[in-house]
A and B are shown apart, each in its own frame.
Chain A
Amino acid sequence: MNFDFSDDQKSLKDQARKFLADKAGAKVTRRVLDNPEISYDEGLWRGVAEMGWLGAAIPEAHGGLGLGHLELCVLAEELGRAVAPIPFSSTVYFFAETLMLAGSEAQKAALLPKLAAGEIIGCFASSEGPGSPAPLNIQAKFDGAVLNGVKIPVADGDCASHAVVLAQDRSDGAPASSRHASQGLSLFLVDLSQPSVNRTTLKTLDPTRGHAKLEFKNAKAERIGTAGQGWELAEAVLDHAAVLIAFEQVGGSQACLEMATEYAKSRYAFSRPIGSFQAIKHKLADMYVAIEVARSNAYYGAWALSTEAAELPFAAAASRAAASDAYYMCAKENIQTHGGMGFTWEVDCHLYFRRAKLLALQAGSPAVWKEKLVKRLEQRNAA
């Protein structure tokens, strides 16, 4: 039994924590929070690119470090802990993972080295409005030459240079949509710098990460992956992203617990530290238990992701369900432990509370993942 990260992976984690303590943290996150004109922190983004993190899981042949997904999980936890205001998840967990899962050699050769170098920012566009995207509610269309449609919201869509877009595939030879609900959809690669793409920045609960509405009006696009397999591919990308985001959520939850614990030790009420009251102790112990459950499920997800195990769909859903609930709980109880101070703009509690909600929604809501978890367990039992 070796259900833990290796010593090398742990030292990467230490290195990442030191780097982010220096280059990121609340001060940097607040620069983006307090300035609606900026979508992300460019200095931190360049620093992360120089460290090679954008290409941690990208093969060396494509300009990456050629490490693996376990290393990427370790980095994700630290980025989550730091509430990093950069488009890392969209670029790495979604865009790069899509390319690596389904991109042609030419697509990978053209984009992965630039992505690893921090020269392009990717995003993943599937939602078209309220509710979980489903095969039958995707209206965006590719007619064989150009893409039309509206995607809202798109995480980091305001700063991204490239997007992967889920759309109906009406090109010649694409499977007809009548056979299967999920058929007829494909993923498309779109350069967002073209004038036929219109972006509108969106106001969100977490202004430390950008969001946009993307409108495509006869935009040039090329298919990525097999025609008609867009839905299945999008689901596979989401499973990858779910595990990686779960690590960000675990990192954020842990930061909340540590912040609340420190405060409970130093804040006095009734002439004693509030952490000596059982009402506070039990709250923090509950947070600890939720994090241990989330961390253990996330480790399983990491194992499944790194070994391309058949258990990945189940493990990804469990990782995500556990981590979304844990972060929400830890972020709100961190505010509660801080009392009135926790409700001020100056104290950092709300940075985590905002990010917790973004991460819980970015790859599908907790309820959606819980349903996936049960469905996947039923499928596994039936098999």
Chain B
Amino acid sequence: MDFNDTPEEATFRAEARAFLEANCKPKVAEKDRMNRSLRGVDYLKAAKAYQKKKAESGFAGITWAKEHGGRGLPPIYSVIFGQEEAKFEAPAAPFAIGLGMCLPTVIAFGSEEIKQRYVAKALSGEEIWCQLFSEPGAGSDVAASKTKAVKEGDDWVVNGQKVWTTGAHFSDFGILLVRTNPDVEKHKGLTMLIVDMKAPGVDVRPIHQASGGSDFNEVYFTDVRIRDDHRLGEPGQGWGVALVTLMNERLAVGGSYGPDYKEIMNFARAASSPTGEGSLMQNEAFRQKLADWIVRAEGYKLAKFRTMTALSKGQTPGPESSIGKVINANQMMDIANTAIEALDHFGIIDDPALAPIDGAFHQSYMFAPGLRIAGGTDEILKNILAERVLGLPQDQRADKGIAFKDLPSGR
């Protein structure tokens, strides 16, 4: 057992570090990254310029095949770059979904022409992609998508609504899951298309979140025409295509956000104990809770080291990486809630000018409920662990053998 890179990994890490030092600013405080809208034009410009440099220097598409402009390296190198990049203020976020989820799907299912047209421009940051799966009536059960596409000549005509689309407002293209045949079982009537987000009939509206910010969008489609050569996979096989996309999502979501156990320790030294005597840090109940947070945060970090080890040996990690999101979102909420309650009545004040660490605990408190839902709810992730890791049988389904159009939808 050791925590060292192999010589090849160490060389790569040093190269990555040198690139980042030359092209990025050092990291700013955690709180400034919270709840930030990605809509700023300057931020987007900087992000595109940064992505271009990454592509030119061989740090974009690290695991992609060379024929697609990638570097053809094993996944461990992507993890190493990510670890180093996280130490800098690197504007990589706008590309996470496109390059992490959409483009691997395009590469897997697109025709030669499609790949020629889109892959290089996405990798170089010229074009940004989003993923259009969730709908108001299809969240955890995303295969219940209703957005309809009807074939007219060489075109598909799309009508309907998607929701919770990250980055739709600055994206150029998206992969879009549509219902093309309502007369067969729900998983069999779906098709995946590539949509031009600037096409007539595409209307992007920001969602006003419970946390106050707007990081996601609703996207409305009214008679949007998409050429059939922009289809990924065969008509009716969209669900299989979507599963490839979603497999990549688990790896993309699961980091921790907001104040962690170290930050609440700093806070607790200055905060008073609910007993009225001494600091919160001296309070026994607080210390026991803190220990639980340490154990889970360190356990998650170390579990990732085990995943890295498997990657480093060329093995593929399975759905067990779902544990990260289950642990982190709840812990983030619990830490924020504990800090706020420790302030007693004063805890209700979320004004950054008055609240501790510029209101970061309060932001975390309001953002955490969203994280328990985004990228698969805690409940869905536990189903995945139970079914795919432990091998438990699927839930009994009410939609087997019934045409989509005849399914009860509750509304």
Contacts and interface: CB of A to CB of B under 8 A. Distances in A.
Interface of A: 1-5, 70, 257, 261, 264-265, 272-273, 275-278, 280-282, 284-286, 288-289, 292-297, 299-300, 302-303, 306-307, 318, 321-322, 325, 367, 369-371, 373-374, 377, 381
A1 B291 CA distance: 26
A376 to B, nearest CB: 10
Given A285-B386, A321-B291, A371-B291, A276 B298 contact: no
Given A322-B295, A370-B287, A374-B287, A3 B391 contact: no
Interface stretch (B114-122, B123-131, B209-217, B305-313): B305-313
Interface in B374-403: 379, 381-383, 385-387, 389-396
29 contacts: A1-B5, A1-B9, A1-B308, A1-B312, A2-B1, A3-B1, A4-B309, A257-B390, A265-B392, A265-B393, A276-B393, A276-B395, A278-B395, A280-B392, A281-B392, A282-B386, A285-B386, A288-B386, A295-B303, A296-B302, A296-B305, A302-B1, A318-B295, A321-B295, A322-B299, A367-B288, A369-B291, A370-B292, A374-B291
Nearest to B300: A293
Given A2-B312, A374-B290, 6 more contacts: A282-B383, A285-B326, A293-B299, A293-B300, A296-B303, A306-B1
Contacts of A2: 1-4, 309, 312
A228 to B, nearest CB: 29
B295 A373 contact: yes
A297 B291 CA distance: 13
A131 B120 CA distance: 67
B1 A261 contact: no
Point out which of B292, B295, B323, B383 has the most chain A C-beta atoms below 10 A from its C-beta: B295
Given A3-B302, A276-B392, A322-B299, A371 B379 contact: no
A3 B385 contact: no
A257 B390 CA distance: 9
A1 B294 contact: no
Contacts of A286: 382
Interface string B1-42: 111110001000000000000000000000000000000000
B295 A281 contact: no
Nearest to A3: B305
Interface in B264-312: 265, 284, 287-288, 290-292, 294-296, 298-303, 305-306, 308-310, 312
Nearest to A286: B382
Contact of A293 (B284, B310, B327): B327
Contacts of B320: 292
Contacts of B389: 288
Given A276-B395, A297-B298, A5 B1 contact: yes
Contact of A318 (B294, B300, B386, B391): B294
Residue from the set A70, A265, A300, A374 with the largest chain B CB neighbour count within 10 Å: A374
A286 B298 CA distance: 17
Given A318-B294, A370-B287, A288 B390 contact: yes
Nearest to B290: A374
Interface of B: 1-5, 9, 76, 265, 284, 287-288, 290-292, 294-296, 298-303, 305-306, 308-310, 312, 320, 323, 326-327, 379, 381-383, 385-387, 389-396
B185 to A, nearest CB: 20
A244 B58 CA distance: 45
Contacts of A367: 288
A5 B313 CA distance: 13
A293 B292 CA distance: 11
B294 A377 contact: yes
B305 to A, nearest CB: 4
Contacts of B323: 288-289, 292-293
B392 A1 contact: no
Contacts of B296: 293
Contact of A276 (B290, B291, B294, B394): B394
Among A3, A4, A321: residue with most chain B CB under 10 A: A3
Nearest to B320: A292
A368 to B, nearest CB: 10
Given A318-B295, A373-B291, A265 B302 contact: no
B322 to A, nearest CB: 9
B292 A261 contact: no
B383 A294 contact: no
B384 to A, nearest CB: 8
Nearest to B387: A281
Contacts of A278: 379, 382-383, 395
Contact of B391 (A265, A303, A381): A265
Nearest to A297: B299
B393 to A, nearest CB: 4
B312 A261 contact: no
Given A261-B391, A276-B392, A289-B323, A3 B309 contact: yes
A296 B290 CA distance: 18
A281, A302, A318, A322 — most chain B CB neighbours (10 Å): A281
Nearest to B302: A296
Contacts of B302: 3, 296-297, 299-300
B390 A261 contact: yes
Contacts of B391: 261, 265
A297 B306 CA distance: 11
Q: Report which residue of B306, B387, B392, B394 has the largest number of chain A beta carbons within 10 angstroms of its beta carbon.
A: B392
B393 A273 contact: yes
Contacts of A297: 295, 298-299, 302
B86 to A, nearest CB: 16
A374 B299 CA distance: 15
Contacts of B394: 276
A294 B299 contact: yes
A4 B309 CA distance: 7
A307 B290 CA distance: 27
